[in-house]
Structure 1
Amino acid sequence: MLSRRSALALPALLLPAAASAQDWAPSRSIRIIVPFTAGGATDVTARIVSERMGALLGQSVVVDNRPGAGGNLGTDMVAKADPDGHTLLLATIGTASINQFLYPRLPWNPQTDLASIGLINNVTNAVVVHPSVRANTLQELLELAKREPGKLNYGTPGNGTSGHMCGEFLKFRTGVDIGHVPYRGTGALIPDLLAGRIEVAVDNLPSYIPHIREGRVRILAVTSRERWFAVPETPTVGQSGVPDFEAVAWFGMQAPARTPRPALDRLTAVLRETCADPAVVARFREIGAEPSFLDGPGFDRYIAAENQKWQEVVRRANVRLE
């Protein structure tokens, strides 16, 4: 147990760390690199947090979309950027966890080249189809795929995204033959789905909610363990005949690994305040995302747990990308 003198001394001992975090302030605009195209859940998450973070930091925070290679191009940009707190990454389950097991050679090291600022939110994936597809449930879609192997294709925002791995895991678990078509982000995938040029999409739910409500696409299942609050009438994959299936996407913020600790601490504090803001929480839930802030160390532990899960999924699905 602490002595009374030690306990009284604790606040003074903590003052230098707190002061150093408050002393750091950005000297110019901050860029949040989004490694996917505009319009997807990654992009929307970045735009929701950027305005409030800018107000708290006293500098503009701009979103810079740098898509390509399943998020690898934008992530590599941040890993190699000046570590001064002015270039940040909107990290995803793909860039922070899955891609390292899919790609034999990454231009950066996910374990050492990026520093965690915090986890922001999570979303379920959804299995969505064009109205022309002769399936009203996930089970009917799987039966259709078994009757006509190789005929159906499913689109995702790109190789290594949670949508891609959900689709491959579903194929592995059910034995169906459905081709994978990677797009350069959700913004490129949705127009093809709406036009019927791709029959099925497996992707983060938020960007599809307006089209689901308008009847332009049909949602068959969500990939979370429980039904998702934004579409409570939609069954889970587990409830649709594939037990113990769960794959929730998540989004967080990272910086170059050598970013000074005072900058990381200040950015974490600002992100924490942003994610607790009632207006930001309401906006997240409006698009179908669940706020789930964790600080830097908490985010590191979360990523470590996800790494164990997705390394096994990639191994069992036998997927490798160049």
Structure 2
Amino acid sequence: MSDEFTDDAKAPGRPAFTDFHLEAGRAAGGPYALDIDPERAGWGYSSLRVLHLPPGGRHSFATGGSEWIVLPLSGGCTVVTDTAETFELAGRESVFSGVTDFAYVPRDAQVQITSGAGGRFALTGARCERRLPARYGPAPAVPVELRGSGNCSRQVNNFAAAGTFACDRLIAVEVLTPGGNWSSYPPHKHDECRPGQESELEEIYYYEIDAAHGKEGVGYQRVTPSGHGRGTDVLAEVRSGDAVLIPDGWHGPSIAVPGHTMYYLNVMAGPGATREWLICDHPDHGWIRDTWPDQPVDPRLPLYEAPAGDAR
């Protein structure tokens, strides 16, 4: 299986999204099960694609004016650039089974992804100015953070957080929330540039919900207007394969229903001169952080840790 695809800006005639909650399949495009780019989202920087490859499948694309990270969701693959860098990604069984390795590919490059056994792969992207070297991100080097406590406990895999892995503009992390817990809480925003206090970042949430007893799970996502930007207002029941666009607004909570672990992949980028994640808590709910030191972290966490090995 071979596909060719060019940079977002060179693919005319693709309709813009008319709302912020994109149910699974509705944002498909070309070879991608999910295809979000700046034109369709109506913003300037952040992109996300989800690619399904059958056994023996391959896919080629031009990075254009964006930097990208190839992140296995399930399965492994080989990533090859037009300058002969080759990265063998072991991948993982699923997003609920472990931390994965990944590959960074720069803007203005041709890339091929092949998978002998097949799998699903996220391509997290951001328009950028600098062309950084292509690099491999080993799973043992991914910082696994436990954030919050009590029923606000969640796990964050900081594979491309600011300060963790060098990118020009792209920030990307994975969050796992045990069933019954709230994450992205307290509600927070990053839709203004306030040096030292808040960064302006567009954000994409992509969800997978762990099945239990043979049943599909659901989760819930809330976004409320902050007085800036488009006045984003979302109350969505989300399922595996869904995405939510957050150009602005107070986002949170992200709620995992009892019995089903929620995974989401966050992709962020913005116009700031410095690549940083600075947030502002909602003034009505930020007090909840003061209660966390008196509560234990959910004993179900971590769901897994980064594997031991060479972190170089």
Shorter-chain TM-score bucket reads under 0.3
In the superposition, the TM-score normalised over structure 2's length comes to 0.24
* Greater helix fraction, Structure 1 or Structure 2: 1
* Greater strand fraction, Structure 1 or Structure 2: 2
Higher Cα radius of gyration: 1
